[in-house]
Structure 1
């Protein structure tokens, strides 16, 4: 990539020290900071982190030094053993924390306080400390102390209610690979960088950051949390798609050798792609001209208002089913590149590892474990070259570090403690920044020019807006953002200014309507570039260069600019020009294949999964680039691939392939460790209404004690002594027993009973239940804001909470061109004549 000069080989965060007090619920946060160059010290108990006991294991040898889960998320860290159950261990930890810049921890509620490491203690010990708590439901509220599991958290967050086959239990994203805490941990990593910006530029002080896995995971519902609030039909699940307003939207099809993700959608943002697809279908004789030439711009509205019968849509889907059955995954991927249709294959982990795109971009990192693993055990892998996911983004000035293996337990205890005894380290606060405990937004004064569209990019810039950045979002009526045509709509009315999804992802931004297809618009854009600190764009590669606004042109004029591009596969490589959405990136990155039932086709996570996960990584990338600019005065370019960032959430599954040679298969709601675990049907009731039969409760027995408690609750004391291995072996039998017990019970009452017994359980919530969830209400996650068209609307609030510089969310996403006059007159200081010239040239539309 051009511009990769003047690199900082130490990494942009090389000055910072992180104390990692997490386990498998938070260790991804430290990995992100380690990739960016920070010194990350993982404090482990004498028996090692619980992550070391999670399978699968390299060579199938069950050994804490061979856990693929631990390997995936602890590379580049230093391991220090401290027994926090002793006063000596706590004192050592405090001494390390006193000189640290950041602490990540995932303690259960009250645990840190009992250890003497509570929030107030750490703040007094180190006022500059950025302290990130990665929690299940949040640090306070009626569910702060609830027993949890990944399944229970996903059940609480809406995404599970809309994932899976309509005639079976709902499914969690990730299959047997946990996801909820990974989403919260990646959220926490970016949040810590926002707090660091405040500390290093203005306050000199740290603060506490409270993340919630429930809130982070709810982003995977694509704003279906809001349906009840905006009087929209509740989203229902179907495998490989969604049921919206009674219409089954199909987004995945079987093909000759597997399955493919196909974005067969309608409206201005999708019309050209759908026309290309139907032209191909007609060309090969599968449909007539009338079918090919349907009004794909208005088709969604025609279905909703009855002009097009749903039966006709079903007929068209049948045509596509016949057509795709004749094509292989390779043929469909080739067509996506040559015919510009929105299709990607559903790849398994083996196909992901063999990806020619990832090979071209030199994504994989081979790591030497030969000094830890002297033989392969039952496997045939090479311990000296174990392949891992690599850099989550490409930076021109501060490329991410290629990390070594995860540390052996206590490998660095002596060196770290000797250094500690020799001299007390101080947090890396600039001497010129005097401590000032202000409460204004941490990104106040940061100016962002936002060309993002769809979901992944806008979700990232929405975080920046929440914390004070001034964001001008550029769009055009001639190429409407695709999500203006996607549910949920206020009152189910398909108005581009009434999409709650668009409003949610773009809350707090200013909207400028500008037709960028006209050369005259470039003068306005360059004026905005001169105004901005950051440029964000998610056009197809080469688009910005084609307009004369590529990184090279921008850097020549503004060498201090931070510019980030976000797209499916990255800016380079054979698939760089693959156009599409997160559904497609999730399919080709391996997320669809393991979500489903062993006896059925993949169901996939709900819709565009990588659109929901990648924004957190993009926030971290942007803030890292801004930190580099603060240190050096230089800008840089960030090439962000949704797929490459998201693959870290599949780390153990990918290592299972590269190390043990196995594909990660679907397993319903089963877990590799816990048993029994599943979603079980309950009686009707609750906010959904007495006649609604899609009521489920997620139950996980995470240890022997929880299983004994559940066995007692269901009246099966005779089974209470079953070991974990016995429970796994008899899982089908246990599922039948538990299902018979839950089926006649009220879900809310059952959830309360199981939580009182200390069992991880939660009802599977859709929007009506989520809206009245006491935890969501207590933490004000759904918030009413002003909106130019609706008067008021509801959006999701910030997903993490900063103690001293809280977020501000006051208005919903802009209507088309809502702030055009304000931007032109106040921000760019154009006079009336200049604005009239733009209007006459038809640029302001």
Structure 2
């Protein structure tokens, strides 16, 4: 583990299971910042490094917190960069390169999400930086990975959804495919980057040997396609958009009710019997045409017998009434909008919406940390840094520079 600069600033007081781990974050937008944010929530000291005249452009993403004097701060940026220290550093100038190498000597992890080859051209790729620190875990997130014929292609979330197969599967039957309604390519890469980083960090702690963690958005999305790969390799079946239906499990989809929609997934024989009893029609469970799971899986039987039953049972009840009726017996869940979710008492009990006070801007509510640890809980309530907010602290404390050396870096435009 690396030493953390001493300070009374709460942002440098590391707690949690990753306390003492120093992470250099040279990423932008979501996939990289989200990865390092998770590490920061878990106690790592994460240093958000941005170019002085060209910072993370997510700082300009809405919505914004606004102060009384007209200043604004991106809530989008704040959510993905909380608990970090802010350092400005121009990696294109020699002084900036040397300073990054100096920081690498004292760091455990570096996370970047540039197009493959970019850091190498700067002289700051994994092979160069490992010379400064053999135990460095170098996590590189990109659209198509560090190897392969597509490695240099520019990519966004939609690129990954398209190239990973997910876009082709999503949407309604007989309609053009529809992208997943969130940046699943970025978010999937984030999760695998965190897993890979922690695995490599564990290895480095045991052996003193760092490594390159190569995570591609395309790979990450492909792994989320459930049964699509084996259905193709075994049966030659190409997954197509199914709307709200599952490829083979029935009933397992969206159903309309009095004030919206619910998901119902009572497809097993046990759940089906409970459902029939719940709606007061015990005899339906014994109907020889639909009395087994295999029979209900048949598309023709499902459309002719099962779906009409469920529509009739649910049509006259509200989402809340159906959830109360189902209780802990069968899988039935109201389809909630984000307002419902933010105000859900269960979500609040799980600490998944957190209030963070931003000086001059007021309270920001954002999602919490889904990893709940009993002995060393994460802390999702930290602030995101202003641009270069912790320059002096980090240059003196972590880099060990004198005031004269810092002045030289400023005059050169490196920080």
TM-score bucket of the superposed structures, by smaller chain: 0.7 to 0.9
Contact 1:458 1:506 (8 Å CA) reproduced: yes
Aligned counterpart for 2:380 among listed residues 800, 809, 818: 809
1:440 and 1:661, CA in 2 relative to 1: closer, same or farther beyond 3 A? same
Gaps of 5+ in 2: 2-13
| CA-CA distance at 1:567 after TM superposition | 0.6
SS of structure 1 residue aligned to 2:111:
strand
Q: What are the within-5 Å matches in structure 2 for residues 127-276 of structure 1?
A: none
Give the TM-score of the pair, scaled to structure 1: 0.44
Contact 1:597 1:666 (8 Å CA) reproduced: yes
Aligned to 1:74: none
Q: What are the within-5 Å matches in structure 2 for residues 454-493 of structure 1?
A: 454-476=29-51, 478-490=53-65
Aligned counterpart for 1:840 among listed residues 383, 408, 411: 411
Aligned counterpart for 2:356 among listed residues 785, 789, 810: 785
Aligned to 2:343: 772
Aligned counterpart for 2:85 among listed residues 501, 510, 529: 510
Aligned to 1:735: 307
Aligned counterpart for 2:153 among listed residues 559, 569, 578: 578
Q: What are the within-5 Å matches in structure 2 for residues 339-738 of structure 1?
A: 441-476=16-51, 478-490=53-65, 498-650=73-225, 652-684=227-259, 695-714=260-279, 719-720=284-285, 721=287, 722-723=290-291, 724-728=293-297, 729-733=300-304, 734-738=306-310
| CA-CA distance at 1:463 after TM superposition | 1.8
Q: 1:753 aligned to 2:328?
A: no
SS of structure 2 residue aligned to 1:613:
helix
Runs of 4+ in 1 over 6 A off after TM superposition: none
Give distance in 1, aligned partners of 2:363 and 2:87. 21
Give distance in 2, aligned partners of 1:717 and 1:674. 22
Contact 1:824 1:830 (8 Å CA) reproduced: yes
1:569 and 1:815, CA in 2 relative to 1: closer, same or farther beyond 3 A? same
Higher alpha-carbon deviation: 591-600 or 603-612: 603-612
Deviations 1:271-328 (A, max 9, x none): xxxxxxxxxxxxxxxxxxxxxxxxxxxxxxxxxxxxxxxxxxxxxxxxxxxxxxxxxx
Give distance in 2, aligned partners of 1:468 and 1:820. 20
Give distance in 1, aligned partners of 2:413 and 2:151. 32
| CA-CA distance at 1:598 after TM superposition | 1.1
Give distance in 1, aligned partners of 2:385 and 2:303. 51
SS of structure 2 residue aligned to 1:818:
coil
Give distance in 2, aligned partners of 1:700 and 1:486. 38
1:598 and 1:476, CA in 2 relative to 1: closer, same or farther beyond 3 A? same
Give distance in 2, aligned partners of 1:524 and 1:496. 31
Deviations 1:75-106 (A, max 9, x none): xxxxxxxxxxxxxxxxxxxxxxxxxxxxxxxx
Contact 1:567 1:640 (8 Å CA) reproduced: yes
Contact 1:751 1:761 (8 Å CA) reproduced: yes
RMSD between aligned residues: 2.7
1:740 and 1:487, CA in 2 relative to 1: closer, same or farther beyond 3 A? farther
| CA-CA distance at 1:564 after TM superposition | 1.6
| CA-CA distance at 1:505 after TM superposition | 1.7
Give distance in 2, aligned partners of 1:473 and 1:497. 19
| CA-CA distance at 1:446 after TM superposition | 0.9
SS of structure 2 residue aligned to 1:676:
coil
Contact 1:497 1:789 (8 Å CA) reproduced: no
| CA-CA distance at 1:737 after TM superposition | 4.5
Contact 2:158 2:179 (8 Å CA) reproduced: no
Q: What are the within-5 Å matches in structure 2 for residues 73-152 of structure 1?
A: none
Give distance in 1, aligned partners of 2:206 and 2:295. 57
SS of structure 1 residue aligned to 2:192:
helix
Aligned counterpart for 1:799 among listed residues 370, 393, 400: 370
Aligned to 1:51: none
Give distance in 2, aligned partners of 1:735 and 1:601. 25
Give distance in 2, aligned partners of 1:833 and 1:788. 32
Give distance in 2, aligned partners of 1:593 and 1:755. 36
Higher alpha-carbon deviation: 727-736 or 628-637: 727-736
| CA-CA distance at 1:788 after TM superposition | 4.8
Contact 1:787 1:813 (8 Å CA) reproduced: no
Give distance in 2, aligned partners of 1:791 and 1:817. 21
Deviations 1:649-701 (A, max 9, x none): 335311221222111122222224532222123344xxxxxxxxxx3211111
| CA-CA distance at 1:714 after TM superposition | 4.7
Contact 2:31 2:186 (8 Å CA) reproduced: yes
Contact 1:498 1:789 (8 Å CA) reproduced: no
Contact 1:788 1:815 (8 Å CA) reproduced: no
| CA-CA distance at 1:474 after TM superposition | 0.6
Contact 1:497 1:815 (8 Å CA) reproduced: no
Contact 1:484 1:496 (8 Å CA) reproduced: no
Aligned to 1:153: none
Give distance in 1, aligned partners of 2:88 and 2:313. 57
1:775 and 1:461, CA in 2 relative to 1: closer, same or farther beyond 3 A? same
Give distance in 1, aligned partners of 2:227 and 2:357. 44
Deviations 1:576-610 (A, max 9, x none): 11222222112210111111111211123223212
| CA-CA distance at 1:527 after TM superposition | 2.1
SS of structure 2 residue aligned to 1:698:
strand
| CA-CA distance at 1:549 after TM superposition | 0.8
SS of structure 1 residue aligned to 2:130:
helix
| CA-CA distance at 1:822 after TM superposition | 2.2
